[in-house]
Structure 1
Amino acid sequence: MYLSQVKSNGKQYIYLCVYVGTQEYSTRKEKRVYSFGETKKALIKMKRWKRKFNEFPNELLNLGCGMENLEEWIRTIETGITKTGRIFKTNVKRAVF
């Protein structure tokens, strides 16, 4: 699983995706399994979940995600670099909440 971003109407949205290879009737090789929403709001939500992990969505728990994943997602959004070194440019600057 990995984070993906989509820009639409001047806003940037963050999704959790899984690689599925080729799909029938589609050229996309990924499937979006969770939408975090607009980037700035997504980061705020993630930081809240880190403080109050009991509010972490069941959908993500059912996908096998946990605190380690959450911390990595926050780091990726704040630094603009994934754990594999891929560029993940966002419109969010590191901030303390």
Structure 2
Amino acid sequence: MGYLSQVKSNGKQYIYLTEYIGNQKYSTKKEHHVYAFGEVRMALIRMRRWRRKFSSEFPEELKSLGYNADDLKVWIETIQTGKTSNGRKFGVTIKKRAVF
């Protein structure tokens, strides 16, 4: 199954669902981004909405890949706590919006 990964670009953190694919012919890349959740704050908001309305909101693309509500719960916890289910650090920084 997959795991969450992050990419930093232009001062923002983006969250991806990544799967390990091993050695590929003609490539040194060993993982493949399966799904892009977007910028970390919006990704967490989106995931929480999916958790509330799982049957209607959770993407069919992820369902067809075999992901379910239990996986979603783990992803949310990983982002909120900054630790994976294996206990590894997952250094995310959730910036709050300025209120005027």
Q: Does 1:74 align with 2:81?
A: no
Which consecutive aligned stretches of 4+ in structure 1 deviate over 6 angstroms post-superposition? none
The aligned residue for residue 17 of structure 1 is 18
Q: TM-score, normalised on structure 1?
A: 0.91
**Residue 35 of structure 1: how far off its partner (Å):** 0.4
TM-score (structure 2 length as normaliser): 0.88
Figure out how many residues of one structure are paired with residues of the other and give that number: 93
Three-state SS of the structure 2 residue aligned to 1:77 is helix
Deviation at 1:42, TM superposition (A): 0.2
Determine helix, strand or coil for the equivalent of 1:68: helix
Please say which structure displays the higher CA radius of gyration. Answer: 2
* Structure 2 unmatched runs, 5+: 96-100
Name the counterpart of 1:43: 44
SS at 2:87 equivalent: coil
SS of the aligned residue for 1:23 comes to coil
How much has 1:14 moved relative to structure 2? 0.4
- Tell me the alpha carbon deviations over residues 7-46 of structure 1, each in whole angstroms, 9 at most, x when there is no partner: 0000000000110111233322100110000000000000
1:30 and 2:8 correspond: no
Further displaced range: 23-32 or 77-86: 23-32
* Seq. identity, %: 60
Quote the residue 2:98 is aligned against: none
Task: Give RMSD over aligned pairs.
Answer: 1.1
Q: Secondary structure at the match of 2:16?
A: strand
